[in-house]
Amino acid sequence: MKAYTIHEAGGVENLRVEELPAPLVGEEDVLIQVKAIGINPIDVKTRSGKGLFNLLKNESPLILGWDVAGVIVETGKRVTRVRKGDEVFGMINFPGHGKAYAEYVAAPASHLAVKPANISFPEAAASSLAALTAWQALHAFSPVQKGQRVLVHAAAGGVGHFAVQMAKTMDAWVAGTSSSKNKDFILSLGADVHIDYEAAPLRTQTRDVDFVLDTIGGSTIDSSLEVMKKGAVIVSIPSGSNEMVAEKAKAAGMQGHTFKVSSNGSDMRSIADLLTKGALKPHVSHIFSFQEMRDAHDRMETGRTRGKLIVSVP
Ligand SMILES: NC(=O)c1ccc[n+]([C@@H]2O[C@H](COP(=O)([O-])OP(=O)(O)OC[C@H]3O[C@@H](n4cnc5c(N)ncnc54)[C@H](OP(=O)(O)O)[C@@H]3O)[C@@H](O)[C@H]2O)c1
């Protein structure tokens, strides 16, 4: 099979296609013929030596990627929930070695859900790591309640565009931040209010927030605390720029949490339910071919992606 490997950290030129044997399937695993791969900021960070690179650097070969959608072609002895021929999607082995940038991927069946019939393989791959992050962050600490005021930063991005839609299904009032070019997109997701982070300080644009999903870190934590109610919750996901969130929130009389997504088939099934009902719609802004993996990384690295970037596998 063809797979993208990296042998050292660095630029996109280090992503190389190699011919490798198809992966072995453990008793609890399935072998997926991959149809679509989701690209995430963590892929780019890890490729360049940050992210999970230190954890994975001794893996040989190191195959990047965690998000896949595809068809099961083989099942391990102890797999009962899914069968050969099922179309599935999910985030594999995160945080660990996902090996998603390949024509075939061995995945624990417990990390997957059956792909809803009403969405495509690219849409399913799009609804894995980013959707799971939004889902778990909204539920992990103090689940958002009906009528609460929720602020989602980077609401046009991979995680944010799912978080806005999920918070609306929880009957919250939702504000989402972006630059002005994404205003209509964010309102089309169901957000009640758009906040242009370039136009004016956050404190002049909203107040009395109950729950913040911080996807930016750094000074965004400070500006968010200024608009939160006493006792409100901020969940911050960009590791490397959010380590002080708990301390800063506590000093302000609020609750701050860092958060890391983890593979979970049960949560994937909750996401699949929302997708089936049409309550959640992934936005795929571009589908790259398998040969264009380096272009997909270049695009992801701009930090300006609307929704998700996908690589299709022939
Ligand atoms: N801890 C975890 O488990 C976890 C999981 C997933 C992601 N993450 C991290 O969370 C971050 C976001 O991930 P993502 O996949 O959503 O990224 P993404 O899709 O690359 O986000 C792109 C979006 O960010 C917006 N943006 C950029 N700067 C902004 C700012 N200052 N204020 C508001 N919006 C801004 C852009 O909108 P404009 O063009 O309009 O500015 C763009 O639409 C990344 O650092 C990622 O590594 C962590």
CATH number at residue 183: 3.40.50.720
Q: What angle do CA 186, 182, 124 make, to 5 degrees?
A: 60
**Which of the listed residues 242, 258, 274 is the one where a domain comes to its end?**
258
Cα 36 to averaged position of ligand 1 atoms, centre (Å): 21
| pLDDT for res 273 | 98
Q: Whole-angstrom Cα distance, residue 90 to residue 26? A: 17
Q: What is the pTM of this model?
A: 0.98
Nearest atom (ligand 1) to Cα of 179: 40
pLDDT at 142: 82
Residue 217 tokens read as: 């870190």
Q: Is residue 276 domain-resident? A: no
How many angstroms does the Cα of residue 125 sit away from the middle of ligand 1? 18
Residues 193 and 294 in one domain: no
Q: Which amino acid residue places its CA nearest to atom 9 of ligand 1?
A: 238
Atom of ligand 1 nearest to the CA of 300: 20
Classify residue 236 by its DSSP letter: E
The whole-angstrom separation of Cα 248 and Cα 258 is 12
> Is residue 105 located within the same domain as residue 84?
yes
Best mutation site among 91, 165, 237, 297 for ligand 1 pocket (most ligand atoms within 8 Å of CB): 237
Both 147 and 254 in one domain: the answer is yes
Torsion angles phi and psi, residue 89, rounded to 5:
-150, 160
- The total of structural domains in the chain comes to 2
In this structure, are residues 42 and 133 in contact, taking their beta carbons and an 8 Å threshold?
A: no
In the structure encoding, which two tokens stand for residue 177, read together? 């931040």
Neighbours of 243 (CB within 10 A): 13
Give the pLDDT confidence score for residue 172 in this predicted structure. 98
Residue 270 located in a structural domain? no
Tell me, using a 6 A CB cutoff, whether residue 304 lines ligand 1.
yes
Cα 115 to Cα 123: distance, rounded to the nearest angstrom: 10
In three-state secondary structure terms, 206 is coil
CA–centroid distance, residue 275 to ligand 1 (Å):
22
User: Which domain range does residue 151 map to?
Assistant: 141-258
Q: What six digits make up the tokens of 291?
A: 């040969």
| Residue 160, ligand 1, Cβ within 6 A | yes
Cβ of residue 255 lying under 6 Å from some atom of ligand 1: no
How high is the pLDDT of residue 143? 85
Residue 91: which CATH number? Answer: 3.90.180.10
Instruction: Kindly state if the Cβ of 281 falls inside 6 Å of ligand 1.
Output: no
How many Å apart are CA 80 and CA 267, to the nearest integer?
A: 18
Residue nearest to atom 36 of ligand 1 (CA): 304
Residues 36 and 153 in one domain: no
d(CA 156, ligand 1 centre) in Å? 8
CB 166 within 8 A of CB 190: no
pLDDT in tens, the chain (314 residues): 999 999 999 999 999 999 999 999 999 999 999 999 999 999 999 999 999 999 999 999 999 999 999 999 999 999 999 999 999 999 999 999 999 999 999 999 999 999 999 999 999 999 999 999 999 999 999 889 999 999 999 999 999 999 999 999 999 999 999 999 999 999 999 999 999 999 999 999 999 999 999 999 999 999 999 999 999 999 999 998 888 999 999 999 999 999 999 999 999 999 999 999 999 999 999 999 999 999 999 999 999 999 999 999 99
Question: SS3 for 293?
Answer: helix
- Contact 259 CB / ligand 1 (< 6 Å): yes
